[in-house]
Structure 1
Amino acid sequence: MAGKENTLQEFGKYVSQSVLSQLGVSCYILADTYFISKGVGADGLTALNLAIPVFSVMNGCGFMLGIGSGTKYGIMKGTGNEKRGDVLFTSSLCVVTVLAVIFMLIGLLAADPITALVGANAEVYDMTRTYLQVILLFSPMFMINNLLGAMIRNDGNTSLAMTAMLSGCLFNIVFDYIFVFPIGMGLFGAVLATAVAPIISILILLQHFVKKKNQFRLIRVRPDVRLVASAAGLGVPSLVTEVSSGLVIAVFNLLILGLAGNVGVAAYGVVANISIVVIAIYNGIAQGVQPLLSREYGRSQEKNVHRFLGWAMMLTVILAMLIYVGIYWNADVIAMIFNSGRDMDLQRIAVEGLKIYFTACPFVGANILLAIYFAATDQAAPAQMISLLRGLIVIIPLAFIMANVAGLTGVWMTFPLTELVVCVVACGLYKKMKRTYLK
């Protein structure tokens, strides 16, 4: 019994700190959008939206290598193979550095063609180019931060990982305001605050090495590219999620614009902003339990693996019900917070969207958790399948079908229907895996 109590306490610590970290990130994304819209105006917000896909690709590569390497290291720790973890960390850092240099060179040498490629017109061209160039020049900071954070979290130092992430977020929020308003640096100030934030996080994460709490370190070894590729396979779901989110938003914007005009797109902005926070909670639960799943999998403790997964799933479902009830009964209040112009059409569309869109809550939480579970237990293929189905294969064609069949209501229904279909597939994959294990 004591052992179960200890594991429950450990579960609570890992998950709560991870959820706080992810909520911090979601709040800084919202703050970034708010300060740019207020301090720079609609053109600044347009430039930000145009640049986001490029940032998503760069940051997604960092997540793929970081979370993949962290997951692989967690499994290695479980098997007692820490020496191999040194090779993994050193090799991953080398690969991340090479990729980051490539992104830097793109920022230095190809900012103009990239800006044209994302569709920036004359009014927002300079601002979009500025945002892209600064973000790409700081790509080593973003990517190394992703790698260090994931490795340290899987090394058991979740408190430091949380402190580093929240400190970076807080810096970004504070200096967003300082650079944009008192100093008047405009969009450049906003992107500079965003670019410096991971440096703050890295400086805090380095304490893990200074205090000698780490069980992994840099060593002199020839980089093992095959080992990094194997780890990256476990991080592919994070890359898919990061890259596809921008594409899905673009598709939804296009469909809603045709059905309800700019007011409809603004209403979708309300839904999307709330979705950022809700998804952050689910990501926090999944990323919090991942190191525990990987460790117990490495130790061949299948009972503990499914115990941790069961607790995480139970927490996800309970929170999903509470979140949906809260959104349903407070949809008017939530919409009014973002509806500063008191536009009644926007209010009506946003309220309808909130009530339909977030019926997806239990399914999206389960899908995120199961994708992380498969990756955490070294099963890359089902993890990748779930992410691709959620992010691209089901949702995009279904959005066009539902828009034609049921108009704006159909667009709102696309997200819950997608997550329901994928949840059925994910649960099927999980049951198949359990049957294989029992045999």
Structure 2
Amino acid sequence: MQRSVKLFIKYVSLNMLGMLGISFYILADTFFIAQALGPNGIASLNLSIPVFGIMHGFGLMLGLGGATRYKILLSQDKQKQAKKVYSQTLMFALTLGLVFLLVGQLGADGIARFSGADAETFGSTHVYLTTILSFAPFFILNNSLLSFVRNDGDPTLTMFGMVIGSVLNVVLDYIFIFPLQMGMFGAALATSLSPIISLSVLSIHFFRPLNKLSFAFQKVEMLLIQDVMYLGSSAFVNEISGSVVMFTFNTIIFSLEGNEGLAAYGIIANISFVVLSLFAGVAQGTQPLLSESYGLKDLKQIKQVLALSLGTAFVLSGLIYAGTHLFSDQLIQAFNSEQNDHIADMATTGLLIYFAGFFFAGLNIVSTSYFGATDQPKRSLFFSMLRGGIIIVPLVLVLSQFYGMVGVWLSFVLAEMLVLGLIAWKMNPGKRVKRKKRVG
């Protein structure tokens, strides 16, 4: 078996396992909240996810952007510049985390109201937002460091960091919500401790012989930070657009079906989070391999890794849709704690329509990651924006008027299908490698 194939299997399998761990604790969080707090608890969690997504997006942007530039520079034997990128990225990540912390302390009330919380959901939404944002520095630093450790040749430790943090979060989730009866605060606190646990695991990397990461305090250079943010902008846009789409869906669904509709969408949104994490695992796992190949101008390896990642995403899509179709009743019953028939009916229809979109979304996620990993931030950003609000928001506004909830679910499928057609038109690895590379 060729070296690139072996590395692909190693990086992708480990990263998918780590991402599954993260999605597992999100599902456990949703399940425990559903059992303890019912539909209003699920609705409150759903209203909080967009803000969490924005914070998460900044961490991914800095991590993936900084680590991509770091890996390209390392492959070109520019270790001094690579170490500088690492230090600058972490310093800015900490600063940004402190800003989010202040926003959470001073503006949680306004954010909860703007998100759409009503009298029944405001209290728990406010509690969840305040707690999560108070731990923002840890969330953003963890997302950043995960990418750097992975690109520094330690995907196994990255996987353990994600999985151990996730498993302990599930344990704490149960303890805080049920035996200690801490309600929504307990759920948020358990989630907030997860990045701290993950950071503790990742710190092992600095004592290993393969470590090339070296942090040094220095004056922040905004041109370098801009390059990092630009290179990782697609990851940020993916998270932001996800939050924008969720906010738009929440608003439309609430106008159509009220809190029951939000509860049904909460079930679909949280299950889809698991699915998206698998595709993100493929994309993030292949990023170090693509960035190294690009730095070395190895066109053959770029094409091989790209073909493997797209094929993996497509096979996953088929398995996921088949599993969803076969076990939709069991999945919905797990989160429909009050066994509300109307919620179950909406969620069943939603799963079968919405999840068909993952045949296209999986390929889109891998493709936009490819553009970023090979120093094509413009294309990566453009297609991420198309996947986000530019196409799907107008579609959901129009289709929901004609087809109600079915139109809401269908908008996701059509948006991803249109984006995939445009990506296929612009995908050309051979032409990209022949161009003169830009070094930031």
Deviations 1:102-153 (A, max 9, x none): 2222233444444444454555544433333322221111111111111000
Residue aligning to 1:361:
358
Pair 295,248 (structure 1): closer, same or farther in 2 beyond 3 Å: same
Equivalences for 1:13-162 in 2 at 5 Å? Answer: 13-121=10-118, 124-162=121-159
Residue of structure 2 aligned with 1:7, choices 1, 4, 8: 4
Matches of 2:47 and 2:353 in 1, distance apart?
28
**What's the Cα RMSD here?**
2.3
Equivalences for 1:362-377 in 2 at 5 Å? Answer: 362-377=359-374
Pair 155,363 (structure 1): closer, same or farther in 2 beyond 3 Å: same
Deviations 1:59-110 (A, max 9, x none): 2211111111111111112211121111011111111122122222223344
Residue of structure 2 aligned with 1:228, choices 221, 225, 228: 225
Q: CA deviation at 1:359?
A: 1.9
**3-state SS of paired residue (1:216):** coil
Matches of 1:115 and 1:186 in 2, distance apart?
18
**3-state SS of paired residue (1:206):** helix
Residue aligning to 1:312:
309
Residue aligning to 1:424:
421
Matches of 2:40 and 2:405 in 1, distance apart?
27
Q: CA deviation at 1:296?
A: 0.9
**3-state SS of paired residue (2:211):** coil
CA contact (8 A) 2:291 2:374 kept: yes
Amino acid at match of 2:51: V
Residue aligning to 1:193:
190
Matches of 2:63 and 2:334 in 1, distance apart?
36
> Which range is displaced more, 303-312 or 319-328?
319-328
Amino acid at match of 1:82: Q
In the alignment of these two chains, the number of paired residues is: 435
CA contact (8 A) 2:31 2:334 kept: no
Pair 49,341 (structure 1): closer, same or farther in 2 beyond 3 Å: closer
Deviations 1:138-175 (A, max 9, x none): 11111111111110001110000110011111111110
> Which range is displaced more, 340-349 or 88-97?
340-349
Q: Percent identity, aligned pairs only?
A: 39
Pair 147,436 (structure 1): closer, same or farther in 2 beyond 3 Å: closer
Q: CA deviation at 1:410?
A: 2.4
Amino acid at match of 2:369: I
CA contact (8 A) 2:68 2:287 kept: yes
Q: CA deviation at 1:423?
A: 0.3
In structure 1, the gaps of 5 or more residues are none
Amino acid at match of 1:152: V
Residue aligning to 2:173:
176
CA contact (8 A) 2:103 2:133 kept: yes
CA contact (8 A) 2:43 2:263 kept: no
Amino acid at match of 2:229: A
CA contact (8 A) 2:115 2:247 kept: no
**3-state SS of paired residue (1:219):** coil
CA contact (8 A) 1:91 1:225 kept: no
Pair 75,252 (structure 1): closer, same or farther in 2 beyond 3 Å: same
In structure 2, the gaps of 5 or more residues are 436-440
**3-state SS of paired residue (2:216):** coil
Pair 328,50 (structure 1): closer, same or farther in 2 beyond 3 Å: closer
Residue aligning to 2:240:
243
> Which range is displaced more, 142-151 or 319-328?
319-328
> Which range is displaced more, 41-50 or 181-190?
41-50
Alignment TM-score, normalising by the size of structure 1: 0.92
Matches of 1:96 and 1:278 in 2, distance apart?
27
Alignment TM-score, normalising by the size of structure 2: 0.91
CA contact (8 A) 1:134 1:191 kept: yes
Residue aligning to 1:211:
208
Matches of 1:339 and 1:44 in 2, distance apart?
11
Matches of 1:350 and 1:18 in 2, distance apart?
29
Matches of 1:111 and 1:335 in 2, distance apart?
31
Pair 95,346 (structure 1): closer, same or farther in 2 beyond 3 Å: closer
CA contact (8 A) 2:256 2:405 kept: yes
**3-state SS of paired residue (2:17):** helix
